[in-house]
Structure 1
Amino acid sequence: MTEIAPIAKPDRNRPEPLWHQAEQALRGLIADGTWTDGMQIPNEERLSTMLGVSRITIRHALRNIEDSGLLRREHGRGTFVRSSTVIAGVRGLTSFTQEMAGLGLIVGSRILERDEQAASAEVASALEIRQGEPVVRLRRLRMGNDAPIGVQTAYMPLARVPGFLALEPSASLYQTLSAHFGIAPREAREVYRVGTVAAEDAALLGIETGSPAFVVERITSDAIGPFEFVHSIMRGDRYEIRSRLHI
């Protein structure tokens, strides 16, 4: 565990709760790179001493940061920074860009391929069009804080997005669809499966061929009907699914 510079202690005269001030101070160490991805952070007792607050206060702050996906606890080992993890669970209908921003991560995207194809049987079924109809295919490497997280391939009916391939690429597909084609997502259906990473995707993601991954398929619709079918391969070590269950 690396030594770190002293942390600014919470101010008891401020109106914000001590746990909130402690949480923001610790998040700042991740955001500015003082605590790097994979680094083990000080234990609760040491953090309590460093910030001048109780261990209960520290525990509250760490739990919130862990829930947001920036930390991971390993039983018997300690707590580690996990600054490039996307947490999927019960959430609203958002784009990858919005999802990343909500987690406090810097979104990154590299276009791998953009072309027009004839819809396969699978794509046609998902988009509710005839097999062989033209679709736009957009394949991208998605990143968070400059670390590769997944490879996503989106298919859209050409009839819904004429001229899409002539547009300047944008970080957010949904912003482009809204601005140029008046498409506003209304609902989406997602299916998650556990799979492995093929050689082509493994090279892009910086992991070994056959590494575990989440295979995610998403069909997104607007008021007219399905306009997007996305197939994603998400790194198993940087993508999590969490749910909170209630009686």
Structure 2
Amino acid sequence: MTEVSFPQPDRRRPEPLWFQVEEAIRAIIKSGEWATGDQIPAEDRLCALFGVSRITLRHALRNLEETGLLRREHGRGTFVRSTTLVAGTRELTSFTQEMGNIGVVAGSRLLDCSLTKADAAAAAALEIEEGDPVVRIRRLRLGNNEPIGIQTAQLAGARVPGFLDSGLLQGSLYEALERRYGIVAMEARESYRVGTVPAADADLLGLAVGTPAFIVERVSIDERGPFEFTISVMRGDRYEIRSTLRAGRVPPNTRS
């Protein structure tokens, strides 16, 4: 691990100390000073380096762990983890935005873009007739140049006339759809299941055929209804699902 500078949080700033520490660690990781697999200093050492309490430091580390930048191994310490997209309760964002939120450079390689006919699954998701035209976009998704998953999106053809000739596949698809067609995603429904990597995707993902993977289906909706149906095959070692569960009812206080 290279020698790292630790900026001291400024108590005169309006941002909480834990937020300043979190941003400082995020910047260290993004700069490459702490590389994937590196073990970061122990909590007491970090407290001394940043000049903050253990409570403040733990708040920052917990946030970084939840967003997938760090992993904590009981009995060993905390490590910089490989590029990982963590799915859970979050805002409706594009892949590009999600990766940016965890300090990872999003990348994409276009594998196919064509006009085809909706099969039964796409027709049901997009609320169109089977056989209606859809624009099929198949992309390899990258984070810091490492493969994370393969996404196959289908757009209702009637909503995106001229898409194949528009050159809209550079950067965020959602931003392009808003700019060209006024489509703004308001809601998305996602379902997750465990599957395996098919032969067509194995080499691109750097995995053996049949390796466990997450299969994610997403239907994106704007004010006019569904416009996008996406099926993603995500690497299980670089994609996580986390949820926070809460009691539905708080037991009454039975003390007299």
Q: Under a length normalisation based on structure 2, what TM-score does the superposition of the two structures give?
A: 0.87
Q: Which residue of 2 aligns with 1:201?
A: 201
Structure 1 Cα separation of the partners of residues 13 and 184 of structure 2: 42
Letter in 2 for 1:171: G
Structure 1 Cα separation of the partners of residues 205 and 6 of structure 2: 34
Instruction: Look up the SS of the partner of 1:63 in the other structure.
Output: helix
Q: Which deviates further from its counterpart, 52-61 or 80-89? A: 52-61
Kindly state the Cα deviation for residue 231 of structure 1 after the two structures are TM-superposed: 0.3
Letter in 2 for 1:201: D
Letter in 2 for 1:86: L
Pairwise CA RMSD of aligned residues?
A: 2.0
Instruction: Look up the SS of the partner of 2:29 in the other structure.
Output: helix
Instruction: Mark the CA change 1:49 to 1:192 in structure 2 (over 3 Å): closer, same or farther.
Output: same
Q: Which residue of 1 aligns with 2:70?
A: 71
The within-5 A match list for 1:23-42 is 23-42=22-41
Letter in 2 for 1:224: R
Structure 2 Cα separation of the partners of residues 185 and 11 of structure 1: 38
1:58-97 Cα offsets, whole Å, 9 max, x none, are 2222112112221111222221112521111112222212
Structure 2 Cα separation of the partners of residues 226 and 21 of structure 1: 40
Instruction: Look up the SS of the partner of 2:140 in the other structure.
Output: strand
The within-5 A match list for 1:14-25 is 16-25=15-24
Q: Which residue of 2 aligns with 1:62?
A: 61
Q: Contact 1:30/1:83 (CA < 8 Å) preserved in 2? A: no
1:77-129 Cα offsets, whole Å, 9 max, x none, are 22111252111111222221222222232221111100111221222222122
Letter in 2 for 1:172: S
Runs of at least 5 residues in structure 1 that lack an aligned partner in the other structure: none
Q: Under a length normalisation based on structure 1, what TM-score does the superposition of the two structures give?
A: 0.90
Instruction: Mark the CA change 1:138 to 1:8 in structure 2 (over 3 Å): closer, same or farther.
Output: same
Q: Contact 2:159/2:227 (CA < 8 Å) preserved in 1? A: yes
Q: Which residue of 2 aligns with 1:114?
A: 113
Q: Contact 2:26/2:103 (CA < 8 Å) preserved in 1? A: no
Structure 2 Cα separation of the partners of residues 190 and 134 of structure 1: 23
1:224 aligns with 2:207: no
Instruction: Mark the CA change 1:162 to 1:104 in structure 2 (over 3 Å): closer, same or farther.
Output: same
Runs of at least 5 residues in structure 2 that lack an aligned partner in the other structure: 248-256
The within-5 A match list for 1:15-164 is 16-82=15-81, 84-164=83-163
Instruction: Look up the SS of the partner of 1:218 in the other structure.
Output: strand
Q: Percent identity, please.
A: 59
Instruction: Mark the CA change 1:21 to 1:183 in structure 2 (over 3 Å): closer, same or farther.
Output: closer
Instruction: Look up the SS of the partner of 1:10 in the other structure.
Output: coil
Q: Which residue of 2 aligns with 1:183?
A: 183
Instruction: Mark the CA change 1:130 to 1:6 in structure 2 (over 3 Å): closer, same or farther.
Output: closer
Structure 2 Cα separation of the partners of residues 109 and 120 of structure 1: 25
Structure 1 Cα separation of the partners of residues 231 and 17 of structure 2: 43
Q: Which deviates further from its counterpart, 227-236 or 195-204? A: 195-204
Instruction: Look up the SS of the partner of 2:19 in the other structure.
Output: helix
Instruction: Look up the SS of the partner of 1:141 in the other structure.
Output: strand
Q: Contact 1:83/1:145 (CA < 8 Å) preserved in 2? A: no
Letter in 1 for 2:27: G
Structure 1 Cα separation of the partners of residues 188 and 14 of structure 2: 41
Structure 1 Cα separation of the partners of residues 195 and 33 of structure 2: 34
Letter in 2 for 1:140: R
Kindly state the Cα deviation for residue 32 of structure 1 after the two structures are TM-superposed: 0.3
